[in-house]
């Protein structure tokens, strides 16, 4: 790995007790270019801007994909990253669908390790805070004309972030707009998926809600997922989550929580779940929990859902609720505070 360390670290100027979310970046970034049908040598360089042409292929035709993960430090000050090979493989599934080149493991994983090694001191030591890591790849040809770009840039950037304290969410089960359809790109972390979700999300936020729960594109009946989180329910002590399909993003948080639940002996179901079933379970008192699962928030509690003109309040959670018990356990695993029984962490010495 070619490493060009910064001559002017910004670390000393930061107030780690008042971190913005997502706008403060560490001293370095990983950059690798794809040119002449091959990935060129990756480099760690000082974080900074790129020059670009308005004809940049990514801007005009949207070949742009990303990933999201977090790092913590353990008591020895070593960086811990959680299941990064899952993100690596998912990014390459996104790449294939968007007609972009797959990234070799030595660039993604070794690049991540090199970045976390050189920027170890940027990983917040405060309780609950973490380093949010953003791998991103975009098309860099400078020409208009719809075709796959011949050149790409892959980067890994990282920002220290505070605990994602958030009030429990009020969500709307959306039946007019859709996020993804069968045969589309919903399973990919493709930039355009987030752009197309913004307008419908703005509309529900103007009415005082926080997030959308998308439904299927054909019948607007089956629950899909939220903006950047998978959806989970507990009905009658069974953990239920919409079964994966090409319209849903296969979350690492989702798969980890399902694995933990199964290990604990809980009944887990991955299947279609309709909004009507949710309303019915609410009516007969068997609906115990609804929550979101994703890297940024870990668990996002949901306190109310809106469906076809009615607000439905959810029961209060307690220390026995799966979202609390499972969520806390997953957090502790990521922070190295409980034994890594599933071998999920990769440790990177400072
Ligand atoms: C990133 C994302 C998730 C959550 O995935 P994690 O790997 O758990 O962070 C869920 N849904 C969408 C649409 C996402 O973009």
Render pLDDT for 210-248 as a digit per residue (tens, 0 to 9): 999 999 999 999 999 998 999 999 999 999 999 999 999
3-state class of 65 per DSSP? strand
Say what the pLDDT of residue 180 is.
Answer: 97
Give the mean model confidence (pLDDT) for residues 93-117.
Answer: 98
pTM: 0.97
pLDDT exceeds 70 at position 165: no
Nearest atom of ligand 1 to the alpha carbon of 230: 10
Report CA(67)–ligand 1 centroid distance (Å): 9
Summarised one tens digit per residue, pLDDT across range 284-310 is 999 999 999 999 989 999 999 999 999
295 lines ligand 1 (CB under 6 A): yes
Report the chain's mean pLDDT, rounded to a whole number: 97
Residue 245: closest CA among 327, 184, 173, 333 = 184
pLDDT exceeds 80 at position 72: yes
Report CA(5)–ligand 1 centroid distance (Å): 32
CA distances from 260 to 254, 267, 333 (A): 10, 11, 11
Please state, in angstroms and rounded to a whole number, the distance separating the CA atoms of residues 270 and 287.
16
Residue with CA at minimum distance from ligand 1 atom 6: 251
Strands 298-307 and 169-173: parallel
pLDDT exceeds 90 at position 166: no
The answer to whether the CB of 201 falls within 8 A of the CB of 165 is no
Which residues are 43's β-sheet partners? 2, 31
Residue with CA at minimum distance from ligand 1 atom 14: 228
Say what the pLDDT of residue 53 is.
Answer: 97
Say what the pLDDT of residue 21 is.
Answer: 85
Summarised one tens digit per residue, pLDDT across range 11-61 is 999 999 999 889 999 999 999 999 999 999 999 999 999 999 999 999 999
Please state, in angstroms and rounded to a whole number, the distance separating the CA atoms of residues 149 and 2.
26
251 lines ligand 1 (CB under 6 A): yes
Report CA(25)–ligand 1 centroid distance (Å): 21
165 vs 158 pLDDT, higher one:
158
Percent of all residues in the chain with a pLDDT value above 70, rounded to a whole number? 100
């Amino acid at each position: 790995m070619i490493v060009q360390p910064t001559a002017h670290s910004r670390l000393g100027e930061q107030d780690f007790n008042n971190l913005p979310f997502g706008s403060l970046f560490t001293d370095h970034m990983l950059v690798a270019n794809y040119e002449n049908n091959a990935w060129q040598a990756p480099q760690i360089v000082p974080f900074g801007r790129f020059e670009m042409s308005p004809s940049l292929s990514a801007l005009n035709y949207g070949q742009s994909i990303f990933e999201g993960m977090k790092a913590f430090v353990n008591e020895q000050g070593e960086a811990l990253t959680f299941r990064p090979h899952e993100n690596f493989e998912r990014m390459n599934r996104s790449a294939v669908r968007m007609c972009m080149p797959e990234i070799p493991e030595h660039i993604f994983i070794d690049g991540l390790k090199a970045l976390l090694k050189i920027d170890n001191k940027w990983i917040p030591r405060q309780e609950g805070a973490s380093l949010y890591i953003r791998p991103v790849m975009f098309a860099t040809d400078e020409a208009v004309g719809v075709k796959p770009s011949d050149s790409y840039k892959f980067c890994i950037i990282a920002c220290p972030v505070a605990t994602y304290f958030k009030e429990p969410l009020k969500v709307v089960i959306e039946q007019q707009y859709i996020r993804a359809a069968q045969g589309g790109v919903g399973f990919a972390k493709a930039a355009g998926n987030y752009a197309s979700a913004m307008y419908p999300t703005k509309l529900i936020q103007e009415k005082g809600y926080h997030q959308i729960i998308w439904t299927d594109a054909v019948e607007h009946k089956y629950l899909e997922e939220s903006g950047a989180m998978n959806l989970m329910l507990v009905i009658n002590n069974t953990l239920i989550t919409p079964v994966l399909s090409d319209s849903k993003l296969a979350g690492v948080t989702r798969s980890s929580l399902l694995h933990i639940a199964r290990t604990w002996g809980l009944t887990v179901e991955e299947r279609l779940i309709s909004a009507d079933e949710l309303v019915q379970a609410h009516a007969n008192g068997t609906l115990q929990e609804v929550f979101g699962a994703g890297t940024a928030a870990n668990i996002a509690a949901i306190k109310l859902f809106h469906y076809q003109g009615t607000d439905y309040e959810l029961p209060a959670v307690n220390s026995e609720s799966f979202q609390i018990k499972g969520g806390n356990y997953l957090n502790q695993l990521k922070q190295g505070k409980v034994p890594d029984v599933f071998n999920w962490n990769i440790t990177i010495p400072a």
